[in-house]
Structure 1
């Protein structure tokens, strides 16, 4: 591996530690909850607040990240998120009451929200176009590894919820000290007029020297894009202008579809799903944790290998198509009284998780880091993340209500229809950004040409 490749993969790996922390802090509560019920008087309300503190904090973190990404910088916010991860994990491990644990979980959620915007943004602005899709997808892979790690920690420290939470300090420290050694993204440095630092950062990432003519040309190309963006102030209003609105629709739309397809309902309520389909509780717990976790990690790796080969649009179409078919299979199994229906339900869930991990999991993170102009990239990604966390809450909250009103078949039929809508959305609005530089994407967007036409052959354009 060349020096430049090592530098790029090191950068992506360090930034992606934020994803490990994301997955760990979401997953660790599952193994700790039964121990917490012994040590603290927990009511359904207090349990709900404690569990919901993470997505609530993440929503707040996404808002903060969107507003501060440009004035403070990507690297500084990732270091701040690492400090919050450590503080939240330590406070959770030392918690003496439910309100203290809830507060700790809120801090962890805040860190997740900041990191969820900054890590994909930092990677996308630092790596070459040919590998951008795969390397931004490292963040989603890290989330799945974090979830599996949480299951392993739950198993290793099954008698101590304090040790479970304390384990989150270690990756937090790794992220803190790792990012402390990194420079900020070259594009942010150019945006802030710190040309010498940008030149050094580009040299490290390309394995050359700061006085290399190719490095100077790349910095000047980024600077031209910054100058072309001078009319954009970096505020939320800019996202709704005629030129930028198509990017906002793509980023927010993909995250909305990602959540409304029911992924968190499937993960959080897998035991309920299998119970309705005829499985006993022991089998469902095993499937919902280790089985789903392994499929999630394995297929995320497959998606990473394909994203820069097949392209974003093809992978999205495959993901939405597979998810629609698998959700319809779950709905059919739930309605059937045939003895084999539990097997069909299990196959449907496995196929759904595979389709999601292959495509619908990583691609919204990749696309939101690519489609926005530089001067509004931070606030645009923040708004897309807000839609992600807001609809995450809506789906998880509404699933038990919908289950009671229309049954499992009805709920998963609705999720399948959302995925069909995702196919239409992808065909009509999503551009192909494979191998296209961020500056080329920005020029196309600001030209007023349909964003969907980017990367498509002439005959396929609207």
Structure 2
């Protein structure tokens, strides 16, 4: 049952990926039909992360009172409305508004889906299950590339296809209950136990279910009476978690992933791939690699752990981006091959670690009473820098060229190695309640996972 729950919640990731990736195929016909310039292109493209920024604020404010399930249903409605308005858009500003609406849905869902999965999953497989959200993002991106190839001359049909998974998300979430931890936090213990029993596919009287429920109820009782405030995120108890969550998303975005996803055909064009069809096919190939390597990351995250995978990911992306930057700077005759090979390596390294792990760790490391608010602030960093990267890419490439931009992204990945080594904890196999106890103990967060389970 828990895999079905993760798959349904993961549809939110597929919608996020689709709405990121669809613009890659739609830009060429949009330029032809609407005559947009680079500045307007950047604004329209970046409307999704800008809307997501606002959605993260709304989600953080409402999550404790409204619950995870209701907010996911609301996000599904926003996705449907945004997709249909995009398809019917009669001008650039209408399309920008439609993508802003989609962005609101993305911002809410990108918080609630990983949170819903994390609060529902057993500790032993939590990393893999939350990573389903990132896998869904990659499938959504690949689906967008396929749709772009199939409807290469009609941006309206490309955008309209986004309504299909949005309806599926609404129907799927409608059939589920809220998470056991949210229900326990709201004092609805009987419902929490029933939900946990269904998620574990075991009777309520099962010893393992009862033991897990007692831990969840105890954690909720410890937080009873605490009203989450943004000021609490800077308290000594929570601040280490906030720094890690914000830092990982900052590094994820400044590694340049969304410049590659949104503008992959443009990157290939700058690298010497002159045919539009070839650019789209090469972009679709990158999408396939993204999906496959995300599956590899899912298989490894609960075996190798979070820290080692992050170190591998940042090292691989730094090398890949450096190769592309050097090839572009030297005007190599093999730039096309270097760009293709470099992007394959970059996407591979990103997909196994830098892509999924900020979502996984964001949903793990905050205490229950401020979990939604903490994820909200981390998401603000994510969407703020997502917007900055997407909006700035066309301008930066025009000013500094492909070599300068990719060189900057490579430096960020090197900084990611240092950040992971010095600050990121290991949460593999540690229950959410144990993580919360560790934070309350005052021990350095980076020591988490190096102690025996249950030690504080």
TM range (shorter): over 0.9
Deviation per CA, 1:309-362, whole angstroms, max 9, x where unpaired?
A: 110001001001111111121122123344334322322121111110111000
Counterpart mapping for 1:34-433 below 5 A? 34-37=28-31, 39-40=33-34, 42=36, 46-230=40-224, 232-282=226-276, 285-286=279-280, 288-433=282-427
Preserved contact between residue 18 and residue 137 of structure 2 (Cα < 8 Å): yes
Paired residues, number: 452
Preserved contact between residue 189 and residue 198 of structure 1 (Cα < 8 Å): yes
**Which moves more between the two structures, 116-125 or 265-274?**
265-274
Q: C-alpha root-mean-square deviation of aligned residues, in Å?
A: 2.1
- 5+ residue gaps, structure 2: none
**Which moves more between the two structures, 342-351 or 55-64?**
342-351
CA spacing shift, 1:357–1:208, aligned 2, 3 Å: same
CA spacing shift, 1:144–1:91, aligned 2, 3 Å: same
Alpha-carbon shift at residue 27 of structure 1 (Å): 2.0
2-structure distance, mates of 1:338, 1:44: 27
**Which moves more between the two structures, 45-54 or 296-305?**
45-54
The 3-state SS of whatever aligns with 1:370 is: coil
**Which moves more between the two structures, 285-294 or 296-305?**
285-294
Alpha-carbon shift at residue 283 of structure 1 (Å): 7.6
The 3-state SS of whatever aligns with 1:208 is: coil
Deviation per CA, 1:113-154, whole angstroms, max 9, x where unpaired?
A: 110000000000001111111110111111111111112222
Residue number among 10, 15, 20 corresponding to 1:16 in the alignment: 10
Preserved contact between residue 239 and residue 380 of structure 1 (Cα < 8 Å): yes
The 3-state SS of whatever aligns with 2:46 is: helix
TM-score calculated relative to the size of structure 2: 0.93
The 3-state SS of whatever aligns with 2:430 is: coil
Preserved contact between residue 189 and residue 217 of structure 2 (Cα < 8 Å): no
Preserved contact between residue 251 and residue 413 of structure 2 (Cα < 8 Å): yes
The 3-state SS of whatever aligns with 2:176 is: coil
2-structure distance, mates of 1:318, 1:198: 38
CA spacing shift, 1:172–1:273, aligned 2, 3 Å: closer
The 3-state SS of whatever aligns with 1:435 is: coil
TM-score calculated relative to the size of structure 1: 0.92
2-structure distance, mates of 1:90, 1:430: 41
CA spacing shift, 1:399–1:44, aligned 2, 3 Å: closer
Deviation per CA, 1:18-76, whole angstroms, max 9, x where unpaired?
A: 11111112222333344445555656555444322211111111111111111100011
2-structure distance, mates of 1:28, 1:455: 40
Preserved contact between residue 43 and residue 391 of structure 2 (Cα < 8 Å): no
Preserved contact between residue 232 and residue 238 of structure 1 (Cα < 8 Å): no
Preserved contact between residue 322 and residue 355 of structure 1 (Cα < 8 Å): yes
1-structure distance, mates of 2:167, 2:11: 10
Preserved contact between residue 45 and residue 391 of structure 2 (Cα < 8 Å): no
Preserved contact between residue 42 and residue 392 of structure 2 (Cα < 8 Å): no
CA spacing shift, 1:286–1:429, aligned 2, 3 Å: same
**Which moves more between the two structures, 74-83 or 396-405?**
396-405
CA spacing shift, 1:104–1:400, aligned 2, 3 Å: closer
Alpha-carbon shift at residue 394 of structure 1 (Å): 1.6
Alpha-carbon shift at residue 204 of structure 1 (Å): 0.6
CA spacing shift, 1:101–1:423, aligned 2, 3 Å: same
**Which moves more between the two structures, 99-108 or 125-134?**
99-108
- 5+ residue gaps, structure 1: 1-6
